[in-house]
Structure 1
Amino acid sequence: MSIAFVLACAMVLDAALGEPDWLWSRVRHPAVIMGKAVATLDKTLNHDRYRRLKGVGALILLIGLAGLLGWALAQLGPVAEGVICAILMAQNSLVSHVRAVGNGLQQSVEAGRAKVAMIVSRDTTNMTEAQIARSAIESAAENLSDGVIAPAFWFLIGGLPGLLIYKIVNTADSMIGYRTEKHRAFGWASARFDDLLNLIPARLTCLMIIALSGQWSRWSEIIADARRHISPNAGWPEAAMARALNIALAGPRSYDGQLRDLAWVNGNAEREIGAEEIFRACTILWRVWGLALGLLSVWVGITLNF
């Protein structure tokens, strides 16, 4: 059984079932376990001298354990591999969380703020309707890459060890990869390695959004916006998503009470957006998922013919 076929099955399983509450209310989700591992190392090592060196050591330890665990789980066979891969992908849950923001906005701005606060780290207390919508769509674009395309890519490259290594690095980056006084040194290695692992998937995600929306003529604009973005990777799918929807994304936002004057993405497009644009972004998420599954199916077909 080819790894592409296993991945295709995992993508369908994730899309169909998502993250059922009946299961994860009884057992710990692997993402929770990974988070606890990162938090333990942060608490144990992130103090006193040599924080950057200790952060490198922590990352090496996490990668080693994830790779070893992935190898061990792979010995259980392709069915187990497919199930674990499905658990670690996030298409269904991503769309559900983003759509929930749109549903909230249709009720009230306050409901939209409550929903978007569940998926972004920026300040949400005083967000306008447009800011809420932009935040949700930016999260959709970035997490399409981080939570769907990148896991699929690294599973194809390295099987379960590759997938688990990617997920633990991505988890570490989301927890300690910040340029704050506490984590600037300790989280440096995790942040940089996460940038490296997402370099290709982010650009693949961008290309798929462009292919589906027919925005090839604006490729130079997309590149320019991506290079101005605060993230070396997130700007690529965001720039493509902004043009697919003909809206402006990014721009100034507040973190921990401090306003940051960040560059706009597709800044000359429509800025006053709302629930409708969020729902259109969700449609694009499913179309990209369908394109990825279609490409995998072609790969499987070619493999079977040989």
Structure 2
Amino acid sequence: MPAPDLFTVFALALVAALWLALAVDRWLGEPPAPLHPVVWMGRYLDWIGSRLAPRAADAKSRDLPGFAMGALGWCVGAMAAFAVASAVQSLAMQWLPVWAMAVVLGLAFKPLFAWRMLRDEVLAVEAALGESLDAGRARLARLVSRDVSVLSEREVRESAIESLAENLNDSLVAPVFWFVLFGLPGAALYRFANTADAMWGYRGERGGRDWTWFGKWAARADDVLSWLPARITVLLLALAAGRWPRGVAREARRTPSPNSGWPMGAMALLLGVRLAKPGVYALNGEGRAVTSADTARTAQLGERAAFGLAVIASLAMLSPLPARWA
């Protein structure tokens, strides 16, 4: 029987790494902050932003130098993340046996996505609401950047469900998508881009700085890298629910984001509920009000979608497509 070729061996190692990373995520969750590469990315972005982003008092209606500085800071950080991940992957491929390569890549990939933490935080919001509205608001504040102090119980629950749907893409589907295409460097680049968008991609003032122009490159880069994964997330949710969310494109267009409306709209339609951000959008406006059971159902659909993603990603990595970069 002929020995497997190099591509097959590498593809099997990547598949094993993916499943190992998912297992570590389920059983252990996130690594300690001092060892977490996303924390390192955040520190870099905070350091650059706190020094180069213009103060709110100095904001300009058109700030091309600020845009250029933000783009440059993003590119330097992105190249560093890509280079480090490339070095780890290259050394593992060249110097380690297949089983050890799979272990190293799996452990290195795990911090670049966060499904268990997302699911647990959303369910924790529901549990906190069982104690009091204030407790639910406080727990939700760990998930979202909006002002939660005036949200009703229904709005807190809606926000939690929206957060799980949106971040199912950002925190799981998109990192796995780029891992399938470009291995560990692809996942690292996406995670840097998504973290930069979360920290810089604001319009107007935040933390005493104006991010409108400085963070524009970061926001657009994340839009581009998340475009296809966001739509794949809809497919995964549809497979998890066993039916297609009819009208999802229409609902997605109601949000200002080119991507987040897709998984959120799909979730609203599949649950049959109304999800809204006051003054910004309302998804499935004719749907019923959310209940505590909908939060559990959301987590269940997310679990099924995560499993479906792992299966589809494994099949994709075993196909000839990755031979271009292996």
The two structures have a TM-score, normalised by structure 1, of: 0.89
Q: Work out whether 1:210 is the aligned partner of 2:238.
A: yes
Secondary structure in 1 matching 2:311: helix
| Aligned equivalents of 1:248, 1:9: Cα separation in 2 | 37
- 1:290 corresponds, among 300, 307, 312, to 307
| Aligned equivalents of 1:212, 1:249: Cα separation in 2 | 20
Aligned counterpart, 1:258: none
Contact 2:16–2:106 (CA under 8 A) maintained in structure 1? no
| Aligned equivalents of 1:289, 1:79: Cα separation in 2 | 21
Can you list the C-alpha shifts for 1:106-164, whole angstroms capped at 9, x where unaligned?
22212111111110111111211100100000000011000000010011111111111
> Post-superposition, which runs of at least 4 consecutive aligned residues in structure 1 deviate over 4 A?
297-303
Can you list the C-alpha shifts for 1:158-203, whole angstroms capped at 9, x where unaligned?
1111111111111110001011150010000000000000001100
Partner amino acid for 1:52?
Answer: F
Can you list the C-alpha shifts for 1:209-233, whole angstroms capped at 9, x where unaligned?
12222442x43x1101111212110
Gaps of at least 5 residues in structure 1 are: 253-260
Partner amino acid for 1:57?
Answer: L
Between Structure 1 and Structure 2, whose CA radius of gyration is higher?
2
Contact 1:223–1:236 (CA under 8 A) maintained in structure 2? yes
Partner amino acid for 1:265?
Answer: L
Alignment of 1:132-171 (within 5 A): 132-171=156-195
Aligned counterpart, 2:123: 99
Secondary structure in 1 matching 2:256: coil
Partner amino acid for 1:185?
Answer: W
| Aligned equivalents of 2:265, 2:292: Cα separation in 1 | 19
Q: Work out whether 1:121 is the aligned partner of 2:129.
A: no
Aligned counterpart, 1:46: 53
Q: Work out whether 1:35 is the aligned partner of 2:59.
A: no
Q: Work out whether 1:250 is the aligned partner of 2:250.
A: no
Partner amino acid for 2:223?
Answer: D
Contact 1:15–1:92 (CA under 8 A) maintained in structure 2? yes
- 2:287 corresponds, among 264, 269, 277, to 269
Q: Work out whether 1:190 is the aligned partner of 2:218.
A: yes
Aligned counterpart, 1:257: none
Aligned counterpart, 2:258: 232
Alignment of 1:16-31 (within 5 A): 16-19=27-30, 24=32, 27-31=34-38
Secondary structure in 2 matching 1:107: coil
Contact 2:38–2:111 (CA under 8 A) maintained in structure 1? no
| Aligned equivalents of 2:216, 2:274: Cα separation in 1 | 30
Moved more, 183-192 or 262-271: 262-271
| Aligned equivalents of 1:289, 1:143: Cα separation in 2 | 12
Aligned counterpart, 2:26: 15
- 1:66 corresponds, among 69, 74, 81, to 81
Q: How many residues align?
A: 288
| Aligned equivalents of 1:282, 1:225: Cα separation in 2 | 21
Secondary structure in 1 matching 2:180: helix
Q: 1:190 to 1:232 in 2, by over 3 A?
A: same
Contact 2:174–2:229 (CA under 8 A) maintained in structure 1? yes
Contact 1:7–1:156 (CA under 8 A) maintained in structure 2? no
Identity %: 35
CA shift, 1:299, in A, is 4.8
